[in-house]
């Protein structure tokens, strides 16, 4: 009897290419065969005959396997992969506009970063995200240890922010974001996760981000967690209360810590709130960027006129592209980024696994707030901070961070028809 069932299951699973799908289908078929067998037993059949009836009821194993292979095969979001490739290639524009293409170091390094970004995103697509569901505390711990290491064992500071130097790799607080994103997805996925646990864990981690300090990273972390919170299993009332407490706490922390903030942070905030009043100081850069944006025209400024743009290949890559290539290029870039966000939203709607949905929401929030904030800086809607434009800004950490986010989305999407969480 056992051999007959195994033989049937093997014939079915031999038609299925994906190893993950084989395990899924095998488990589902065993469950359905057990149910069918019990129905025949209840009708008076013996164990052996009931087993045979249940197997016959399933039909041809080869036909069934072919049908299940079509249903359960892994999916690749080729549209998102194509959009990712396009936007990574657009990241060469700031390098070319500044003449960095004549410097082989910048050009070769950018090529390496683009290739590395694609490898990371596509590599993560083949990682089964469902196996992470029980490792929430580990990811939270790694993120916390990373922040504590920056506070107590930093290799130096960049614009007042501590960093760790491992070889040629510079690690800043933003590197902790993917670890915390996975941790919160694990926590929110649990039915036993309580509100007081969320508040305690969130405030502890938020305080560490504040102590770094990095306004941009703290802001991204805050936005990410609150976005995921509203997709959690808490009731709407609990979500509202918790959101109020966390926003209030953030405001209080900001008010009481203002006097301890570095000078450059205060300077940027003053320049953002009233740039005209401090046009000779903190507001100069804000006004200069707005002038460059408004005077770019549809096809960009005269290429023979070299206008200095600070950090034109990193934080102000959007300003550089708009100034040198015009509003046509800027609109096209924004359109590509919006299409990426739209594909991520579509993935959220198609994924049935709750843990996977939480991971996509976390990735979407980080991508969205980076994009809105960086472009917002160019138009004076957001303070000047070290906020990168996803996939465009030059640098290893920004490329890796956003490649990881896309890789997570691709991993979840690939398994959207395998709804049962891995054990």
Task: Give the span between the Cα atoms of 270 and 27, in whole angstroms.
Answer: 61
- Give the residue-averaged pLDDT of 289-299: 75
| pLDDT at site 423 | 32
What are the domain boundaries of the chain? 2-72, 78-414
- Give the residue-averaged pLDDT of 380-392: 83
| pLDDT at site 81 | 95
- Check pLDDT > 50 for residue 140: yes
pTM of the predicted model as reported, rounded to 2 decimal places: 0.83
- Is the preceding peptide bond at 213 cis, omega within 30 degrees of 0? yes
Quick: pLDDT tens for 14-69: 767 667 667 777 777 777 777 777 887 787 777 777 777 777 777 777 777 677 76
170: left (phi over 0), alpha (psi -120 to 50) or beta: beta
Do residues 417 and 67 make contact, with C-beta atoms less than 8 angstroms apart? no
Do residues 385 and 216 make contact, with C-beta atoms less than 8 angstroms apart? yes
- Check pLDDT > 70 for residue 80: yes
- Check pLDDT > 90 for residue 104: no
User: If you ran DSSP here, which 8-state letter would residue 315 be given?
Assistant: T
| pLDDT at site 279 | 58
Binning pLDDT at 50, 70 and 90, where does residue 258 land? low
- Check pLDDT > 70 for residue 133: yes
154: left (phi over 0), alpha (psi -120 to 50) or beta: beta
Task: Give the span between the Cα atoms of 211 and 218, in whole angstroms.
Answer: 10
Nearest one of 172, 174, 168 to 113, comparing CA atoms: 168
Binning pLDDT at 50, 70 and 90, where does residue 323 land? confident
In 373-404, which positions are buried (b, 16+ CB within 10 angstroms) versus exposed (e)?
A: bbbebbebebbbbbbbbbbbbbbbbbbbbbbb
- Give the residue-averaged pLDDT of 236-243: 88
- Check pLDDT > 60 for residue 166: yes
DSSP SS3 for 413: helix
Quick: pLDDT tens for 106-115: 788 888 999 9
- Check pLDDT > 60 for residue 302: no
**H-run or E-run covering 175:** none
In 153-171, which positions are buried (b, 16+ CB within 10 angstroms) versus exposed (e)?
A: ebeeeeeebbbbeeeeebb
| pLDDT at site 184 | 97
């Amino acid at each position: 009897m056992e051999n007959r069932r195994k033989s049937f299951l093997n014939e079915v699973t031999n038609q299925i290419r994906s190893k993950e799908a084989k395990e899924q289908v095998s488990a589902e078929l065993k469950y359905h065969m057990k149910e069918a067998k019990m129905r025949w037993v209840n009708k008076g059949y013996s164990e052996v005959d009931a087993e045979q009836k249940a197997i016959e009821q399933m039909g041809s194993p080869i036909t069934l396997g072919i049908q299940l292979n079509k249903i359960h095969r892994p999916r690749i979001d080729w549209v998102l992969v194509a959009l990712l490739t396009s936007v990574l290639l657009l990241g060469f524009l700031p390098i070319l506009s500044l003449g960095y293409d004549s410097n082989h170091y910048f050009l070769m390094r950018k090529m390496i970063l683009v290739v590395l970004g694609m490898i990371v995103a596509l590599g993560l697509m083949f990682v089964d995200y469902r196996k992470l569901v029980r490792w929430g505390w580990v990811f939270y711990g790694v993120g916390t240890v990373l922040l504590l290491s920056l506070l107590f064992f930093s290799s130096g500071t960049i614009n007042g922010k501590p960093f760790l130097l491992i070889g040629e790799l510079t690690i800043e607080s933003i590197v902790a974001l993917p670890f915390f994103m996975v941790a919160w997805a694990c926590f929110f996925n649990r039915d036993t996760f309580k509100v007081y646990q969320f508040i305690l864990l969130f405030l502890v981690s938020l305080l560490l981000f504040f102590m770094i300090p990095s306004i941009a990273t703290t802001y991204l972390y805050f936005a990410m967690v609150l976005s995921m919170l509203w997709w959690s299993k808490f009731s709407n009332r609990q979500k509202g209360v918790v959101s109020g407490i966390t926003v209030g706490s953030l405001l209080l922390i900001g008010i009481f810590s203002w006097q301890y903030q570095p000078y450059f942070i205060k300077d940027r905030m003053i320049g953002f709130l009233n740039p005209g009043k401090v046009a000779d100081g903190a507001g100069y850069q804000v006004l200069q960027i707005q002038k460059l944006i408004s005077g770019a025209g549809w096809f960009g400024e005269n290429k023979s006129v070299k206008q200095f743009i600070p950090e034109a290949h990193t934080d102000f890559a959007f300003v550089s592209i708009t100034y040198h290539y015009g509003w046509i290029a800027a609109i096209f870039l924004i359109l590509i980024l919006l299409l990426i966000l739209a594909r991520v939203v579509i993935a959220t709607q198609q994924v049935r696994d709750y843990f996977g949905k939480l991971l996509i929401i976390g990735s979407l929030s980080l991508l969205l707030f980076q994009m809105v904030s960086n472009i917002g800086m160019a138009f004076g809607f957001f303070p000047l901070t070290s906020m990168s434009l996803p996939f465009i800004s030059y640098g290893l950490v920004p490329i890796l961070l956003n490649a990881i986010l896309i890789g997570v989305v691709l991993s979840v999407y690939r398994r959207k028809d395998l709804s049962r969480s891995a054990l």
